[in-house]
Structure 1
């Protein structure tokens, strides 16, 4: 399972969410959905967001192995 860490990356960046949404060309609600894991960004948007936040794409999600 992938757990979003986008919100944590945003906090570390020091940018406001409204600024990030504007720079990304998306609605603030869409960014919020990415942060909560309700939806995931397209690959292109993930890389664009990583560049904006000055982090790696790997920092934005954590893989947690589900136990059966």
Structure 2
């Protein structure tokens, strides 16, 4: 199972949400859904967000082991 870490990364980021929204050309609702884990960024937006936050794309997400693992 994959869990987004976007909210955690944004809290420690030097950028405000409004800047991220403008730079990625997304809506406030889109960013809110990413943070909540309701939706996920497309691969191109994930790379853009990772670049802005100065992290890898892998760092945007946290792997949670499933009971099968």
TM-score under structure 1 normalisation?
Answer: 0.92
1:16 Cα offset (Å)? 0.9
Q: Give the structure 2 partner of residue 41 of structure 1.
A: 41
Q: Give the structure 1 partner of residue 63 of structure 2.
A: 63
Is 1:13 the equivalent of 2:13? Answer: yes
Q: RMSD over aligned Cα, in angstroms?
A: 1.0
**Structure 1: which 4+ aligned runs deviate by more than 3 Å?**
none
* Contact map agreement 1:5 1:35 (CA 8 A) in 2: yes
1:53 Cα offset (Å)? 1.0
TM-score under structure 2 normalisation?
Answer: 0.91
Q: Distance in 2 between matches of 1:29 and 1:22?
A: 13
Structure 2: gaps (5+ residues): none
Q: Distance in 1 between matches of 2:30 and 2:46?
A: 13
Structure 1: gaps (5+ residues): none
